[in-house]
Structure 1
Amino acid sequence: MGINLADNHLSSLDQLLSNHNSTTSSQGSLTIPICNSRQLQSFNASHNNLSGLIPNCLGNMSSLELLDLQGNNFTGVLPEFSKATQLWMLKVSENRLEGKLPRSLAECTKLEVLDVGNNMMRDTFPFWLEKLSVLTVLILRKNKFYGEINHFKNKIVFPTLDVLDIASNEFSSELSFDILQTTQLRSLKIGENKLEGMLPRSLANCLELEVLDLRNNMINDTFPFWLAKLSSLKVLILRANRFYGTITKFDSENGFPSLRILDIASNKFSVDLPIEFLQSLKAMMQVTNDDKSKLKYIGEDYYQDSVTIVNKGIELFYEKVLTTLICLDISNNSFYGRIPEEIQILMSVKVLNLSHNSFSGEIPLALDILKELESLDLSMNNLLGKIPPQLTGLTFLAALNLSYNQLEGSIPQSN
C-alpha cells in the first residue's frame, strides 16, 4: 500500500494513520504539504520507508496530540515543539536522528510518553523534563546520552514515571536514585552503561517494580536479597557487573513470589548453591497450564517489556516477554560443591544455565523432574560420573550442553 503524504487535500484532516505499510512520499521524505493539516490531532506513520528530515511544522501544530514516526529512516534533529502543547505521546525511536533533545519539550505539559530510543542522539540526561508532572514513559535507550545521573540525589522528581529505559548509552557515575523514594516505577532498565557503586537501597521503595535490568555495568555490591520485598518483581538481571559474595541471606518462607527471570551471570559470586536460595524462587516452582489463547506478556498495552537472555547457548532478544518464560542463569561465577537435588523444586524452569562454575560431583538425577526444561547448560564445571539416562525423559529439551566436564561412559539413547 502506498500513500502519498504530499497530497494537498489535507487541510481538514484530524487523523492520519499509515503505520506498518510501505508508505512513501516524494523521494521518500515527509514533505511540507502535511503542514496544511492545521487540525491534525493524531499522526501515525510508524514502520514505513520515510526518510529525510522531520518537518519543523509538526512542532507548531497546536492540535497535535499523538505523533508516532518510529521505525523509519529519518535523519537530522528533532524539531522544536514550542506550540504542540496538547501533545501527550511522541515516538520517534528506530530512526537515525542526531543532536540533542529539544528543550521545548518541557513546555509540552501533557506529555505522557516520550520514546527516542534507537537513534544517534547525543545529550546529557534530560533533568529539565522534571517539570512534566504526568510523564509516564521515558525511553532513551541505544543512543549516545552521556554524563552523570546523580543529579537525582536528595531530589524527588518524575513522581508519575512508570517506565525508565536509559540502557545502552554512555551514562557514568555512581548510582544515587533517590528519585525512587516515592514512585510508581514499574520498569527500570539502566544496563549497558558505565555505572558504578552500590545499588541504591531506595529501590526497595518501588513496590510496583516488575522489571529491573542492570546488565553490563560496574556495580559493586552483594546480592540484593532486600529486593525480595518487591512482590511484583518478575525480571531481575544483574549480569556482567561486579556483584560478589554469597547468596545465603534469603527468607525462604517469603522469597521472591513473582520472579520469573533471574540472571546473575558473569559476576563474582562464590559459594555452594544454597537450598534456601532455590526455595526463595517461589514463582519458578509453580507449573501453570499454558493456555495459548490467553498468552500474557510482561508490561502494559502502551509499553511491553523486552529482555535479552542466553537461551540454548545463544544470546536472544525477546521483543515481548511471556510470563511463562522462566529462566535461571547463574553461569560464569565461582559457585562450587554439588548441584543440590533440591533443584527439582524449580518445576517451571525452561532455561537453566549453571555453566562456567566449579560445580563438582555427579549430575543430579533430580533434573529429570524438570519436565518444562527446554535448555540445560552444565558445561565448564568439574562434574563426574555418567550422564543420567533419566534426562532422556525431558521431552521439551532442545539444547543440552555437558561439555568440558569429567564425565564418562556412554551417551544415553532416547526416542
Structure 2
Amino acid sequence: MSAISSHSLRALSLCGNKLQGNVPESMFNLVNLNVLCLSGNWSGPLDFSVFSKFRNLGSLSLSGFNSFLPCSETNAGHQFTYLMELKLFQVDLTNFSKISCEFPVLQTLELSENKLEGKVSQWIHDMHSLENLKLSHNQLSSVGQFPWYQLVYLDLSFNLLSDDSISFICNATSLEILNLSHNKFRGTIPRCLANSSDLKVLDLQMNKLHGTLPRTFPRNLISLNLNGNQLEGHLPRSLSNCKNLMDLNLGNNQIEDTFPTWLQRLQNLKILVLQSNKLYGPLVSLKTKDAFSHLLVFDISSNNFSGQLPKAYIKSFQAMKGVFGAEVQSSFAYFKTFSYNSISTINIRKDYEDSLYETIKGVRLDFEKIPTILAIIDVSGNKFEGEIPDVIGELHILKGLNLSHNRLVGHIPHSLGNLTNLESLDLSSNMLTGNIPTELTNLNFLEVLNLSQNQLVGPIPRGKQFDSFSNDSYERNMGLCGWPLSVECNNNVPLPQDPPSEAEDKFGFGWKPVAIGYAFGMVLGIGLGFCVFSIGKPQWLVIMFGGKRIKRRRRGNRRARTT
C-alpha cells in the first residue's frame, strides 16, 4: 500500500480488503483522523499503543493482525483520550491485558472472534463509560458481577460461560439487546427481566436453563429466543402484551400446553417456532382479523398437535403470499442504531441463521444453501389428518414446506405447482394417494423432494428438477413407476410387482414357506383321499364325491328275494 499524505483527512476505511504487508508509517501522520478501519493479512506484530498518536481518533476498527504488543510494554499509561468505539476482531487476542490502555470515554468495545479465555477482565468492569460490549466467539468461562447500569448492548454468545445463574443482568437496567446464546448457563430465567422496560432483544438459546418461563416479559420485546434449553410448564399469556414482538422462538424445550391462539393478537409477528415441545390438541379457529398476517416462519413440528390441517391459518398467512411486497424482501434482521457525535453508527444485527438452524439446516429440510429471505411452514411430526388444503398453493414466496410424518390422506393438490419459489418439499410418511401432479415440474428451484412412504401410484413426472431426484424421494410407494425407479410403466400403469404382504410384514415370513406348506398339504390330501375311497369310509364323504350307496343296494336285494 502506497504512502498516505493528507493532513486534512478525517476518515479512512480500508476494511473489507485483502491487504498484506506492513501498515505504512505515513498513515500515522494523519493527525486529524477521526475514524480508522483496517483489515487484511498484516505481517508482524501490532504495536497497539501507536494508534494513540491519533489525538482526535474517535473510532478504531482493526482485524487481521497476527499478534499484539501490549500497552504495558510500549507506552503504558497513555490515553486514547477521545476514542469512543474500539473493534478488534480476528486479531488472535488471547489476553485482556494486551489492550488494557486507558479509554476514559469508550462507549463501544468489540473483541469478538478471538481467543480470550477465563473470566471477563476487571479492566472491563471498571470501564464506567461503556454502553456496548461484544465478546462473542471466544473461550470465556465466567462472567462475574456486572456493575454497568448504563449498559445498553451486551453480546457474550458462543463462549464457554457456565455460571450457575444469569442474575448478573439484573444490574444492567438499561439493556436493550442481550445475547447470551450458545453457552452453558444453568439455573432459571431471572424474574428481574420483567422490569427491564427497555429490553428489545433477548437471546438465551442453546444453554442449560431450566424451570418455568417467567409469568411476564418486557412489553417492548421485539425478539425472544429461548430455543434449546430445558424449560417446562405453560406458555405465559403475558407474551400477548408484547405488541412489537416479531420473533418468538421457544423450540426444543419441554413446554406442555395447547397452541397459543392468543398470539394472533401480535400483528407484527414474523417468526414463530414452537418445534420439539410437548404441545398438543387441535389448532382452534382464529378470532382476530389479520391474525398472523405478517408471519413468514411457522414451525410447530415434532409436537402432539392433532385434528385437521388448519386451513384458516394458512389463509391468514398474507406475507407468504407476497401481499406486503417490499416488506417481504427485507431480511430477518433487527437493527438498533447508536450515534456518537456523528463519528460512527453501529448497526447491531440479529441474524436468524443461528436461531432457526434446526429448521433450516436440519435433516428435515436439508438446505445446503440457506436463502437470504425465508418463508417456511413446518408442521411435521404431529398427528394432523385429513387432506392437504388447496389454499397452500397461494403462498407464492414459500421456500420450504414440510408436512411429513402425519396422517394426511387424499391427493397431492395440483395447486402446489404454483409455489414457484419452493426449494424444499417433504410430504413423506403420510397416507397420500393418487398420482404425482405434473404441475410440480414447474418448481424450478426445488432442491429437496421427499414423497416416500405414501400410497402414490402412476408414472413419476419427467423434466426439469424431477430428473435430478433419486429413488429415495419415492421409496415405499408400490404403485409408482418410471424414472428413477427400476419399475417401467405400461400405458401409464405400473407393471405388476411383488410387494410384501401384510402377513409378511407382521409375522416375518414370505412366499417360500407358504409354497412349501401348500405342496406338503396337497400331497397329504391326495394320500388321505385314496385311503377314503379304498375302504369306503366315511360314507358321507364318499357319497359327496360320487361314491356308490353300497348298503342300500344290499337291502334292496333282500327284499327282492323275499318276494
Q: Shorter chain as normaliser: what TM range?
A: 0.7 to 0.9
The letter for the 1-side match of 2:402 is: N
Deviation at 1:318, TM superposition (A): 8.9
Matching of residue 310 in structure 1 with residue 355 in structure 2: no
- Where relative contact order (Cα < 8 A, 6+ residues apart) is larger, the structure is 1
User: 1:113 corresponds to which residue?
Assistant: 153
Residues 358 and 34 of structure 1, relative CA distance in 2, 3 Å threshold: farther
- The residue that corresponds to 2:46 in the other structure is 5
Corresponding residue number in structure 1 for 2:166: 126
Partner of residue 96, structure 1: 139
Q: Which of 179, 190, 211 is 2:226 aligned to?
A: 190
Amino acid of the structure 1 residue aligned with 2:294: S
1:231 counterpart residue number: 267
SS at match of 1:143: coil
Contact 1:113 1:137 in 2 (8 A): yes
Q: Is the 8 A contact 1:362 1:383 kept in 2?
A: yes
Instruction: Identify the residue that residue 392 of structure 1 maps to in structure 2.
Output: 441
TM-score between the two structures when normalised by the length of structure 1: 0.88
Q: Does 1:161 align with 2:199?
A: yes
Q: Render the CA deviation track for 1:12-37: whole Å, top value 9, x for unaligned.
A: 55456344x3212259x897658644
**Who is 1:278 aligned against?**
314
Q: Which residue of 1 aligns with 2:414?
A: 365
Q: Is the 8 A contact 1:284 1:346 kept in 2?
A: yes
CA change 1:173–1:295 in 2 (3 A) is closer
Residue 303 of structure 1 aligns with an amino acid whose one-letter code is: R
Identify the match of residue 298 of structure 1 among 322, 333, 351.
333
Task: Specify the SS of the correspondent of 2:209.
Answer: strand
Change beyond 3 A, Cα 1:186–1:37: farther
| Counterpart AA for 1:133 | T
Partner of 2:127: 84
Change (3 A) 1:378 1:313: same
Deviation, 1:251, is 3.0
Residue type of the alignment partner of 1:310: I
More moved, 83-92 vs 249-258? 249-258
The C-alpha deviation readout for 1:152-171, integer Å capped at 9, x for no partner, is 4xx83211011110110110
Given that 1:350 and 1:374 are in contact with CA atoms closer than 8 Å, whether structure 2 keeps it comes out as yes
Separation in 2 of the partners of 1:361 and 1:205? 40
Alignment partner of 1:175 out of 207, 213, 218? 213
Given residue 174 of structure 1, which amino acid in structure 2 is its aligned partner? T
> Which structure: larger Rg?
2
1:283 deviates by 1.7
Instruction: Please say if 1:249 is aligned against 2:285.
Output: yes
Structure 2 residue matching 1:22: 3-state secondary structure: strand
Work out the CA distance in 1 between the residues paired with 2:225 and 2:131. Answer: 22
State the aligned residue count. 402
**How far has the Cα of 1:145 moved from its partner?**
0.6
Query: Within 2, Cα distance between the matches of 1:30 and 1:208?
Result: 45
SS in 1 for 2:309: coil
Task: Give the TM-score normalised by structure 2.
Answer: 0.66
Find the partner of 2:60 among 17, 20, 42: 17
Structure 1: tracts of 5 or more residues without a match: none
Residue pair 1:161, 1:185 contacting (<8 A) in 2 also: yes
Q: Which residue of 2 is the match for residue 378 of structure 1?
A: 427
Distance 2:232 2:323 in 1: 37
Q: List per-residue Cα deviations over 1:302-351 (Å, max 9, x = no partner).
A: 122313223684455999x84x4211010111111111222223232121
Aligned equivalents of 2:153, 2:298: Cα separation in 1: 28
Match among 185, 190, 195 for residue 145 of structure 1: 185
2: distance between equivalents of 1:151 and 1:313? Answer: 35
Question: Sequence identity, in percent?
Answer: 33
**Superposition RMSD on alpha carbons, in Å?**
2.8
Task: Mark the CA change 1:350 to 1:364 in structure 2 (over 3 Å): closer, same or farther.
Answer: same
**397, 411, 414: which is aligned to 1:348?**
397
Q: Which has the higher helix share?
A: 2
